[in-house]
Structure 1
Amino acid sequence: MINGIVVLNKPRGMTSSDCVYKLRKLLHIRKIGHAGTLDPEVDGVLPIAIGQATKLIELMHEKPKSYIGEGMLGSRTDSYDLQGHILESLELEQQYSSSDLKAAMKKLTGKIKQVPPIYSAVKVNGKRLYEYARENIPVELPERDVTIYDYQLTQEPRFDEKDKLEYFDFAIQCSKGTYVRSLVNDLGTLLDVPAVMTSLTRIASSGFNINHAVTLSEIEENLDQPEKWLQPIDEFFKEYKKIDLSQAQFSRVKNGAGIELEGVSEEKVALSYNGKIKAIYKKMGNEYRADLMLLQNS
């Protein structure tokens, strides 16, 4: 049985579901799912949970995500990226300074309300927004509360004298549910110029970064050596206080019973037996009780 997290370096041109399907076939496993969808033309970190790790997917969503990408000033599309139809374009009369861009980025940092692109998987009345768009059905776009922890210009913007367009590189760290495409579009709105995202790479998600990532071909070439491409479940909980259980304590834990832990004050702890985390317990009154069971983690 395989239990763990594949930190996949998703290539452009594949959907997140394509990647899960490919891995399901390669590994001959049914219990598998991804945490945090990436658009087909976005590459980078796509965490995929396997076996017992599928229980972690909701927790994986809660951790911040980080991206690097490029935006362009002078054009706007209905999808907020280059895959959509052009709605507006103009030749810039002058270049926006790095100070202009940084000031606008700062206004989009913190807790904000964001409107997702019409070409997105957000559901309204049980139907995804991109389905409304494809059927030309008018729909009110819902506002969402998201947190932008950091929005930075990573180098000096570049002005294309020939086409009168401006390009800028950015880095973003944000909460779940954030559409980076919308942040680029909103930046243009603040600058009073059409803007579109031209490329995007996710460099961190679910507590893992691009340095942990492996490609589909690397997995296929090392199917019999999962240690080369599989992150253990315990790695996800490395920030938790780890408690090694005695046999008597584990006998209670495996039956879901509460236990007392002297000298421990953390709200949640990772309970380990025989070198593997078997449960996450949460403090309730004078004892700790089951929050997440991972008994088959091996």
Structure 2
Amino acid sequence: MDGILPVWKPKGWTSHDCVMKVRKILHTRKVGHTGTLDPDVEGVLPLCIGRATKIVPFLTDTVKVYEAVVTLGYATDTEDSSGEVVETLEVSEPFDEKAVREILHSFQGKIKQIPPMYSAVKVKGKKLYEYAREGKIVERPVREVYIHNIEKLDSIRYEDGKASFPFQVICSKGTYIRTLCVDIGRELGYPAHMSFLERTRTGDISKEDCFSLEEIQKLADDEAYDKLLLPLVRGLNHLDAWQVDEETRVRIKHGQVLPSPSQTFTSDVFCVKFQDEVLAIYQFHPEKQGKVKPVRVL
């Protein structure tokens, strides 16, 4: 059983919970997830099954799409609505909608983020949330992420001294939407937090592709695995493709170093195909000019 299982992760479940559940349903240990989602967040969680576990790092490295709500008026220690309130400031006047859109657009491109204390980023071999639970604040590494696009989805709502609005963001892996919400609030002059988040796309896999855990159980009971699993290529569509002939296919299956293809690629890493079958992921050889070498043979 090989392929990508597009799971719709429910609220209250960790990504690891979903992996464990799918292992039981499909009766296999070879299950890997492609980027964690916080327990309070629902959304697209592609799981790689069997041979597809070889492409986990490449599917994890894809663009993500989120829909979120930022609430202004108070901030929390976790940067979302589950945490303790650490700062408040009543929103007394309405915002200019055009100015808000301009501030959102100012976040497009390469930006720097400091990961929240309640996150799984490791500092000196220990996860930040472990320090946070001990009441310790440690210096956190600044990370660069990329915002491809960010748009407000609806008008601003005002209630009880707070303001909130939904937005969509298309971003690189490693982007903390909680931190983005806090930074948006700072630019608007108010403490803020993320009050809602949903991941609607990972790479080429969208919300519409996904199955709930209940649907996965039912289809597995019916042994309808062909309906559950997406082909490996769906996790690699963001990479350039090199189409090869039968003779080269055999050499690739043996993991051989090959002459560089004549076509131009947008990245040093690309997938290799024979007809519709994905054979491997190759890269330009770092030491042998004019050669390419395998990264993963599938």
TM-score of the superposed pair, with normalisation by structure 2 = 0.90
Q: Greater CA deviation, 151-160 or 92-101?
A: 92-101
Please say if 1:174 is aligned against 2:171: yes
Question: What is residue 189 of structure 2 aligned with on the other side?
Answer: 192
Question: What is residue 132 of structure 2 aligned with on the other side?
Answer: 133
**C-alpha distance in 2 between matches for 1:106 and 1:275:** 39
Aligned partners of 2:131 and 2:137 also within 8 Å: yes
Structure 2 gaps, min length 5: none
SS at match of 1:104: helix
Identity %: 37
Q: 1:18-53 deviations in whole A, cap 9, x for unaligned?
A: 000100111111111111100011111111111111
Instruction: Identify if the C-alpha distance between structure 1 residues 260 and 151 changes in structure 2 by more than 3 Å, giving closer, same or farther.
Output: same
Alpha-carbon offset, residue 115 of structure 1: 1.0
The match for 1:211 among 187, 208, 212 is 208
**C-alpha distance in 1 between matches for 2:142 and 2:63:** 20
Aligned residues: 290
SS at match of 2:135: coil
Alpha-carbon offset, residue 274 of structure 1: 7.7
The one-letter code sitting in structure 1 at the alignment partner of 2:296 is L
Question: What is residue 282 of structure 1 aligned with on the other side?
Answer: 283
**C-alpha distance in 2 between matches for 1:261 and 1:132:** 48
Question: What is residue 62 of structure 2 aligned with on the other side?
Answer: 63
Question: What is residue 243 of structure 2 aligned with on the other side?
Answer: 243
The one-letter code sitting in structure 2 at the alignment partner of 1:276 is E
Q: How does 1:9-20 map to 2 (within 5 A)?
A: 9-20=8-19
Q: How does 1:76-91 map to 2 (within 5 A)?
A: 76-91=75-90
The one-letter code sitting in structure 1 at the alignment partner of 2:168 is A
Alpha-carbon offset, residue 138 of structure 1: 2.7
Question: What is residue 148 of structure 2 aligned with on the other side?
Answer: 149
Aligned partners of 2:233 and 2:278 also within 8 Å: yes
Aligned partners of 1:64 and 1:175 also within 8 Å: yes
**C-alpha distance in 1 between matches for 2:44 and 2:57:** 17
SS at match of 1:178: coil
4+ residue segments displaced more than 6 Å: none
Structure 1 gaps, min length 5: none
Question: What is residue 97 of structure 1 aligned with on the other side?
Answer: 96
The one-letter code sitting in structure 2 at the alignment partner of 1:83 is S
TM-score of the superposed pair, with normalisation by structure 1 = 0.90
Please say if 1:202 is aligned against 2:203: no
Alpha-carbon offset, residue 90 of structure 1: 3.1
**C-alpha distance in 2 between matches for 1:275 and 1:112:** 38
Q: Greater CA deviation, 257-266 or 21-30?
A: 257-266
SS at match of 1:52: helix
Instruction: Identify if the C-alpha distance between structure 1 residues 260 and 15 changes in structure 2 by more than 3 Å, giving closer, same or farther.
Output: same
Alpha-carbon offset, residue 89 of structure 1: 2.1
Aligned partners of 2:243 and 2:275 also within 8 Å: no
Aligned partners of 2:58 and 2:235 also within 8 Å: no
